[in-house]
Every structure is written in C-alpha cells, then in structure tokens.
Structure 1
Amino acid sequence: MSVDSYPETLESQHSDSEERSYREMFSMGWPQLVTCLWFALLFFYFGNVHIFYSDIWGHVSYGEWIVAHQSLPVYDPFLALADGVKSIDAAWLSQVLFAKVYASFGVRGLSHVFALTVFTSHILFWLAFYLKTGRAGISTLASFLLVVISSSRIAIIRPEIFGTLCVALMLVIMAWSEKYDVWNRTAKPGDDTQNSGKKAPLALLLALYLGIPLIFLAWANLHGSFVVGLAILGLQFLGRVLEVGWRTRSLVQVCSDPWVRCWLVVTELAVCGALLNPYHMDLFLNSLTFPRNPNLKDVLEWEPLEFRDAEGIWFCASWVLMLGLFRHSRTPIRTADMLRVGLLSLAVIVGVRMIGWFSVVFVYAMVPHLTNVIPRRELIVPVLNDNSKQPVSFWYRKTPLITAVCALIVWFGFAFSNIATPLFGGKPRPLDKIYSQGTPRKLTEFLKEHPPQGQVWNPQWWGDWLVWDGPAEMNVFMTTNAVHLTPPQVWRDYLGIARANRGWHAVAEKYAVTTFIVHKEKQVQLARQVRKLKGFKVVYEDDLSVVVSREPELIAAASQSEVQDAEKPADEKQEVQP
C-alpha cells in the first residue's frame, strides 16, 4: 500500500466507524418493538373507555358550581337530605378541570382527558421501571403486570386519575435517585462511603427538593389520595433509616447519612406543599378518616377484600409471585419496598378500592427482582451480529428495520385513535359509544319534559347523572358523591327502600316521596313492589328503568302519552317500537 493511499484508508475506516455508530444509535431491538406495540394497544384501549354513569357527573356538577359561585361549597349543593353536614371537597381542582373541559369540548373532551392522563401515567411508570432496571423488555413486562393487577380500577373516569399521574411522577424521581444510592443493587461490595448524596446531579436535587413538593401541592388539591403518596415517601425515609442502622449499628451514622437527611427534608417539604390547600390540616384529617365513614361499608368498592373476586385473585397471585421472586432473586430486598407493600396490602384487605395503589408499589418493588431472575442472553438461541463475530442473542439484536416497524406502530396507534381521527378528517366518536350502556339517557329526557316536583327516590349510582342531566332543582334522594355526607339514619333508610325491606313504604312516606325511579335489573324486588303501590302509577318505563309517581302532572302526562300511542296507526306504532 502506497504512502499516498494511507490517509484515504484512515478516512474510509473513520467513515465506516461513524456510519456504524449512527446505525447502532438509531437501531432498535425486539424489546423496543414489544414496548411500542404494548403502548399502542394501551392508547387505543384508554381512548375507547366508556364514561360511567356514576360519580364523574357529580364531579362535573361540582366543578360548574365552583366556577359559577367562585367559592367552594360548605354543604353539598345537590342533596337536600345532607343539608347541615359540612363538606370538605378534596377534589375541587379536578372538578374545576372537568367542568372547564366539558364546557370547551363536551363529553368527548372528558374522554380525551381520561385517555391522555392515564396513558401518560403509564408511560411514566414504565420510565420509572426502566430507570431501576435499564431493560426495556422487563419494564414493559412490569407495565403489563401493573395493568393486570389494577384492571378493576383502571377504566374508571374520576379525579383519582390525577392522583395516579402524581404518584407516577414521584416514582420517576425516586427511581432516578436510586442510581446514586450507596446501598442499591449496583453498589460495589465494601463501599461504605457516606458522600454519595453529594454526587447527585443538580437536576436530581431540584427534582427532589422542588419537584416533589410541587407535585404534592397539586396532588392535595386534585384528590384525597395524596396521603397515600405521603405514606410512600415517608416509608422511603424510614426504610433508609432502618437499612443504614442495621448495617452500621450506629445512630451517628444514621443521622449523618446524606440520603437519610435528604428523604427527611423531602418528606417535610412534601407535607408543607400538601398543606397549601383551602382546608389546610383539616384536609389531612378528612382524608385519613374518610375510609372509616360508616356509610361506606355498604358501598361495593369500599368493602373488605373477597379472595374469590377478581381483585382477591390478583392480590393472592401477586403475593405468590413476590415469594417466588424472593426465592430465586439475588437482588437485596429493600426495606422501604417491603414496608410499602405491607402497608398497602393491609389497606387492600380492609378496602378493595386500594388495589390500584397496591399494584403501583408492588410492581415498583418487584422490578429489580424480575431483572435478576430473567436472564439477559438466554431467552433465544444466539445468532451472529452483523458487525462482529461475537454471538448476540436474537432477542437483543438491533436493526434499522425494527426501528422502522416501531415508528409505524407508534404512528398507526395514534392515527387510528379516537383522539386523532377528527384531526385527519374522520368522524368523531359517536356519543352512544362514549356513554356506558347503563347510562339512563332516555330517562332523563323524559324527566326534563315532565319534571317531578316533590321528593324523588332514586338509585344512588344514578343520582349524580340525574343531578347533571335531569331537570333543574330536582330533589334527588341520594348521590354517589354524597354517600359519606349523608346522615347514617338517612343512609340506612335509603338502603331499606332499595332492598324493599319490610316497612319500606312507611319509610318512603316519612320522606314524602312522590316519585320512585327504580333500576329494573339491579332492584328487581323494589321494581315489583312499586308497581303495586296504591295511588301511584307507572308514568315511564324503558329497558333500564321504571318510574312510578302519584304527582297529578306526571300521571296526566303518562295518560296523554298512552292516548297518543293508541291513536297512532298500527304500522306507525310498530316503527317507533324498539
């Protein structure tokens, strides 16, 4: 080789090396492909969730009331039977957001807010898992476990979705901080230095000392679940204290540990941030005592865990998985993780509603053990890499073709979603596919045309919808959002009527009920009984509901409707029948 050609050879080698580096930079493997496919499916699913007919409409009504009056309600503004019971509106900011979204974008806007909020939360959960493992495939598997365990809670549109977003942000910061923890799984054996906190970058310190307090500032005004976040954060501090104390057997070392001091200060700042709410310390007390409200023991989602139900099955399966991972994993068990899993496990046993929060701390704790148990290079028979003669696992082989497929999956996942379809000239999602099938829309249309004047008895789960979509000033008996505000005697009377217990009619007379709205499928006995009431007449009935009343106006309207139906030709009557 001549001397003149030597520089060209070096330049050619440098060019080939640079080309390979760019190719490797923009190449993805099968784990990334599975991750893109998983999140495309999640985005499609969240965008197609129906809006349930229960408490979401009460929250929208609350938000509109707050905006209209420019103040927070002292008493429930929609339930006269709860008059005099002071209300602490722990979700006032979420309610205002719901009301603003509905005013600007309608019911489709509420669906989009749900989809984007929950999807973003799961992206952040995945990021937290990835920061703990560094493996996309394991993080996606953990995201799948999270969705499965919390499946009973994941499709409900309510202010709790903003609490989930806040805990996801907090876990990302906590997972980031573990990279600088001398007691974590990447610490070198024998590394007893106590100055790892000084090595943390400025961005992490800002996230800890400023970001987390701001998260709790928003969280305390969005949803009462902020106390769960404070428990997660406080147990991070306690777990660190126990770990350092057990290892050093020295109180001085515990007090001088930089991460002990860090988590103590961060927890204190988070409490201070949460105190910046309209109710201050009363909000803390209300959120802690709320689950002990005697009325909630009769509400399904606040009942103790039933191991034969779906939540109980997944809860038991989670504990079996955890014990199996602990048996085979060589990763140290973190004290803070076990404290959090233990506390939330007790909370689930007491109230099944807590399964969503349990799933978060459980998967977050199990991710390092999944990484240790599932090997990196023994999943599939190795093949040769294109750029070297060393064997590389097929599962971890990266190519530009997989990158292109990932890009297509992301694009199609967005383009065919209900959020993006109108942007590309498609038809918006029909309203019939946004409302859940159990929403009594026909019922409220009738009530708006013929509004009841006296006391109305209604199913609790329809109360918020009746307030929202029914006639103005209708005097409903119960709403989901006011169960905890209702006097215990009123709640027991409601249940007595709902179950058609002996003497239920006398109880209804005590409240001067003039109109009964009954769910035909869920209240079969009551639906049968109200048809037999003397002085009452069926004024409306459809596949979902039956309305009986003794108000002359409603009876006259029903009679007139029957006459009009009788006067119609037979073929016309057949056309209008469902």
Structure 2
Amino acid sequence: MSRRALLLPGPAALLALYFGVKLGLSPLKHYDLFFHLAGGRYVLEHGFNRVDPFSVTGTAGWVPHEWGFGVLSVLLVKLLGAAGPALLTGALVASNVLLLWAAFGRAAPRRGLVTLGVLALVLIVQSPTWSQERPFHVGHLLFALAVLGVQAWRAGNDRVLWFAPLLGVAWANLHGSWLLGPALLGATAVGQALDTPEQRPRAVRAVVAGVAMFLVSALSPSGPSIWLYPLHHSLLKSTQNINEWVPLDLAVGWSWAYLALVGMALFVVGQAPVRRIAILLPTLGLGLAALKVQRHAPFAAVLVALAFLEHAAPVRGLVWPELLRRPAQALDALFARWSAGAGGGLWPALALVLLAGVSWQNPVPVEQGVLRSRFPLTCFEALRNLPPGKVLNRFTIGGAVSYFAGPDYKVFIDSRNDPFPQPIHDDYMRILWSEPGWEESLARYDPDYLLWDEENPGNILLDQLRKAGGWREEAREGQYVLWVRTRSTSR
C-alpha cells in the first residue's frame, strides 16, 4: 500500500476514529467493570484462589476465567487512571471495526456501498455492547482475528494454523467466548473438505489445529474444567434470567439488523450458482445459536455478513432499481475507488495514543471518572470507614462494593452470577420482593450493612425493615442508602 493510501483515511478508519475517541472519552459506567477490577487487583496482590474472596455466599467457587481483562484494566488504571478502561474499550472497538473491514474486503474485494451497508448492519448488532467496559470487546476482536486467520487458510496459507493454539490460550484467559475459535476453525475445515474433496488432507490438519486450540484453553486458572465451563454456565438456572442469555428479543432495534442480515444472506445464497459450505456451515451453527441466545448475535452477524458477501458477487439479479441505477452505480464506483485507495488506520491509533498520553500526564482517579448517577460513591466511602462485615446489596452493585470498599466487605451477591449457587439467587429474589420466607433468608445471611436502592422494587425491603427496626441510616446518595445494623450489646 502506498504512503498516500496509508495516510488517507478510508471509511472504516473514519468509523474507527469516531468510535475510538468517543468511547475513550466516556465516563466509566458499566457495573460489571468493577468486579473485573476487583478481581484483577486481587490476582495481582494475592494470586488465584478457588474460594470466592468477595463473598461468603459464593460457595460454588470463584472462576476467574476472564482474569486477563481484569488484570489489564487494573494496570491501565495504575498508569492512566479512570481513562485506562475507557481507552481500552475505545481501542478494542476501533480495532474490531478495522479488522471487520479487512475481512469483508477478502470476501468481496470490491468494497462498495453494499459492503459498507453490510458493515453498518454488523456494527448495529454489536453496538449495544460499546457503552460497556467489558471483556466482550476482546471477544469481538479475537473472533475477527480468527475469521481473518480462517480466510487466510482457505486461501492456501497453512502456516496460519500454527497461530491457532496461541490465539486459543490468549482468548481463554480474556473472554468466555473462546470456544468460538476452535468451533469456527473446525467447522470451516469440514466445509472446505466438502467443497473441495482434494483438500481433505489440509482439512484434517486444520481440524487438528482446532482441537489443539481447544485443548490449550486449559492453560488457565480453571485448568481442564474450562472445557465444560461454557456448557455448565449456559445451563445454570440463574443464567437464564440474564438479559443477554435469553432468545433473540424482537423488542430491541439491533435484533432487526441481525434478521435483515440473515434475510439478505438467505436470498443471495439461494440464488447463487455455487454455494460454499466452508462459510455456510459455521454460519448456520452460530446463526441458529444466536436465535436461542442473543449473546451470540454479535459474533454470528460477522459470519452471516461474510456468507452474504461471498455469495452476492455471482448473483446478477442484485441490481439497483432503474430510476436509481445510474446515480447509484456512479456513487458506488466512487466509494469503491475511495475504499481501494485509502487505509488510514494510523489515525485512530494516533488519536488513542494522544489521549493516553494526556491521561498518563494527568491521571484522573477512578472515583472521579465514573458516571456518578450510577455509583453511590458517598455510600462506598462511608462503608469503607466502618468495620469489615457482610453487606446485603443489590445484584448489579456488588462488584462496585468489592472494588471501592474492598474484599473485607463481603457482598451477598454480584453480577458474576456463577459463584453463587441457585439457593442464593432464590434467597435474593425472595428478599428483593419480600416474598414468603424472606425474613428467614435474611436471617441466614445475617448482614451487618445494607446497601440498597429506594426505587421500586428496592423500596419494598426498605419499608419492611423500617417497620421491623434495628437499622440506622449511615449515608445516602442518589437512589442508594447505606444502613448499619444496630445490634444489642449482649449479642
């Protein structure tokens, strides 16, 4: 690529620049970030521990399978302050956009308006996660890398298979979507063998690389148990109540972008003179999984888009309406020339490095860099000044308690979900709604502190405890209150 092409920003580079800077400058706002920060800090200070260090109710055991993201976030906080996790999110999203554009360019070398439209639909499907400082973005990025690797292998590059285990071990320590890597490679290899039987020896080697990619995931704190963890986690009753683990929800707008991609792909694949099983087989598997569990849709959308692009070029029935044909073709040709002659990935990289440099010179503490309307920092500070004890807390805020107050303040539950056996989830719902038996559930935990919100349904428990007495208010901020248990001196 010429120097001019490297400097001239293409469409994907402009999108990456915009999203990278916007997210990099955003305040920290997602609750889950803080149990990752708390876990990463604990790993750096104490190492790995199968016993949950943040609660007494997490008897199912601590599974820090995304510990790498937590440690990386903590190190960035030490270096850049609150901007660290935000800039990490911006960098991951920007890199993902650029890698997707490269993958789509391999599937359809002429990147015109259709390719841009397909990219836009994929980004719409992925966009709900962008405001969340979570390892989900690492999963997106590594999946895009896996797609590029699979494309290179299909094009005849067998050396790329040696990188599959390296990608697998990194992925398994960063995000729970690691299983998609070996599944993609294995399904693609089987499809390639069906497309071109003479390449079966290559396909066998690719399947072996996929198996190796799967096995090396055990090089993680979870060890071999990680092999069954995705299945175990998906079958938990408590998992079924998490929004991203429910079937595709047509009430949210991004789901229609996913269905539009599926409809487009079905049409062009049905019309195509030759169908490539190497892309259709993994697309079918992950595409159906996304209908059952919408968490998979951001990944499945990438494969659906590739299936569309690979089969769209030979379908000559895809033409513009007569009235729009000439201007559309002219615009498409102009856009294709721009895409072919411009890269510009340097610009989002420079922007993020510049923002990181500013933050390195003037790091802002995490407490000043969060979205204050979501986090009752006054209550956390007041709790930290009280003796260590057990905290009855809302589900979403538990990770923030562990980070801001510390692991000596044992939460009742948090959004890690899986350390807590089902009876704890049942007790939480019983206490939340004051259902029959809630007093017994509360007595079993015997909390010293209550960090709760006053908005419905939180007000239900607060009203019950006001009537019963035995609590005093220590602090409040926004919708949250911190209460302290008043115990008799004879206890």
Q: TM-score range by the shorter chain?
A: 0.7 to 0.9
Question: Residues 326, 528 of structure 1: CA spacing in aligned structure 2 closer, same or farther, 3 A cutoff?
Answer: farther
Pick the aligned partner of 2:22 from 45, 50, 64.
Answer: 45
Aligned to 1:136: 111
- Selected match of 2:79 from 88, 98, 104: 104
Contact 1:38 1:140 (C-alpha < 8 Å) held by counterparts: no
Deviation at 1:308, TM superposition (A): 2.4
Matched positions, count: 479
Secondary structure at 2:128 match in 1: coil
C-alpha distance in 1 between matches for 2:158 and 2:360 = 46
Answer yes or no: is the 8 Å Cα contact 2:12–2:101 preserved in 1. no
Specify the alignment match of 2:307 in structure 1.
Answer: 365
Equivalent residue number for residue 380 of structure 1: 327
Change (3 A) 1:270 1:496: same
Aligned to 2:292: 350
Partner of 1:207: 160
Q: Assess if the C-alpha contact under 8 Å between 1:305 and 1:350 holds in 2.
A: yes
Out of 175, 191, 195, which is 1:239 matched to?
Answer: 191
Out of 443, 466, 469, the position equivalent to 2:401 is: 466
Matched with 2:378 is 442
What is the CA-CA distance between 1:489 and the residue it aligns to?
Answer: 1.1
Q: Of the candidates 222, 225, 230, which is equivalent to residue 182 of structure 2?
A: 230
1:88/1:283 contact within 8 Å kept: no
Deviation at 1:80, TM superposition (A): 0.9
Who is 2:438 aligned against?
504
Which residue number corresponds to residue 266 of structure 1? 209
| Cα deviations by residue, 1:162-208 (Å, 9 ceiling, x for unpaired) | 22222111111222233x3xxxxxxxxxxxxxxxxxxx4xxx33222
Q: Which amino acid aligns with 1:205?
A: D
Task: Spell out, residue by residue over 1:108-156, the C-alpha distance to the aligned partner (whole angstroms, 9 max, x if none).
Answer: 1121122112221221121111122112335443332211012222332
The 1-side partners of 2:372 and 2:297 are apart by 23
Matching residue's letter, 1:306:
D
Query: Partner residue of 1:489?
Result: 423
Q: State the 1:496 CA deviation.
A: 1.0
- Tell me the CA shift for residue 396 of structure 1: 4.9
| Deviation larger for 303-312 or 233-242 | 303-312
Taking the TM superposition and a 5 Å limit, the aligned residue runs for 1:265-344 are 265-327=208-270, 330=272, 332-344=274-286
Report whether the alignment pairs 1:86 with 2:21.
Answer: no
Cα deviation per residue 1:45-82 (whole Å; 9 max; x = unaligned)?
3324442342221112222222222x321111111112
TM alignment of 1:422-571, pairs within 5 A: 423=358, 434-435=370-371, 437-449=373-385, 451=386, 453-470=388-405, 473-481=408-416, 483-521=417-455, 523-551=458-486
- Secondary structure, counterpart of 1:457 in structure 2: strand
The one-letter code of the counterpart of 2:439 is H
Map of 1:556 onto structure 2:
none
* Partner SS, residue 81 of structure 1: coil
Q: Identify unmatched segments of 5+ residues in structure 1.
A: 1-21, 181-199, 245-252, 384-391, 554-578
Residues 310 and 442 (structure 1), Cα distance of their counterparts in 2 relative to 1, 3 Å cut: farther
Structure 1 residues 266 and 444: CA distance shift in structure 2, 3 A: same
Q: Structure 1: how far apart are the matches of 2:487 and 2:459?
A: 26
Partner Cα separation in structure 1 for residue 69 and residue 104 of structure 2? 27
SS in 2 for 1:540: strand
Contact persistence 2:389–2:410 (CA under 8 A): yes
CA distance in 2, matches of 1:118, 1:393: 28
Residue 249 of structure 2 aligns with an amino acid whose one-letter code is E
How many angstroms does 1:284 deviate by?
A: 0.6
Identity rate of aligned residues, in percent?
21
Residues 80-101 of structure 1 show CA distances to partners (whole Å, capped at 9, x for unaligned) of: 1124x33333222232222222
Give the alignment of 1:48-87 within 5 angstroms.
Answer: 48-69=25-46, 71-83=47-59, 85-87=60-62
Distance 1:345 1:464, change over 3 A: same
Q: Deviations over 1:360-413 (max 9, x none)?
A: 222232222455566799663788xxxxxxxx95545669xx97xx87x975x6
Greater CA deviation, 227-236 or 32-41? Answer: 32-41
The residue type paired with residue 223 of structure 1 is: H
CA contact (8 A) 1:128 1:171 kept: yes
Cα distance in 1, alignment partners of residues 484 and 364 from structure 2? 37
Identify which of 128, 148, 152 aligns with 1:172.
Answer: 148
Question: What is the rounded CA distance, in whole Å, between the counterparts of 2:381 and 2:353 in structure 1?
Answer: 27
Q: Structure 2 stretches of 5 or more lacking a match?
A: none
2:120 is aligned with 1:120: no
SS in 2 for 1:152: helix
Evaluate the alpha carbon distance shift between residue 242 and residue 116 of structure 1 in structure 2; reply closer, same or farther with a 3 A threshold: same
Tell me, in whole angstroms, the C-alpha distance in 2 between the residues paired with 1:34 and 1:314: 20
Q: 1:239, 1:336 within 8 Å by CA — same for their partners in 2?
A: yes
Equivalent residues of 1:305, 1:349 under 8 A apart: yes
Q: TM-score, normalised by structure 2?
A: 0.84
Return the structure number with greater relative CO, CA threshold 8 A, min gap 6.
Answer: 2
- Deviation sequence 1:185-236 (CA, Å, 0-9, x none): xxxxxxxxxxxxxxx4xxx33222x222211121122222111211111111
Corresponding residue of 1:257: 200
In the aligned structure 2, how far is the partner of 1:371 from the partner of 1:146? 19
Q: Secondary structure at the match of 2:482?
A: strand
Q: Secondary structure at the match of 1:461?
A: coil
Distance in 2 (alpha carbons) for counterparts of 1:436 and 1:326: 49
Q: Does the 8 Å CA contact 1:132/1:176 hold for their aligned counterparts? A: no
Q: Which moved more, 1:287-296 or 1:344-353?
A: 344-353
CA distance in 1, matches of 2:380, 2:354: 28
Q: Give 2:236's aligned amino acid.
A: N
Provide the rounded CA distance (Å) in 2 between the counterparts of 1:425 and 1:487.
41
TM-aligned CA distance change 1:364 to 1:425, over 3 Å: same
CA separation of 1:53 and 1:132: change in aligned 2, threshold 3 A: closer
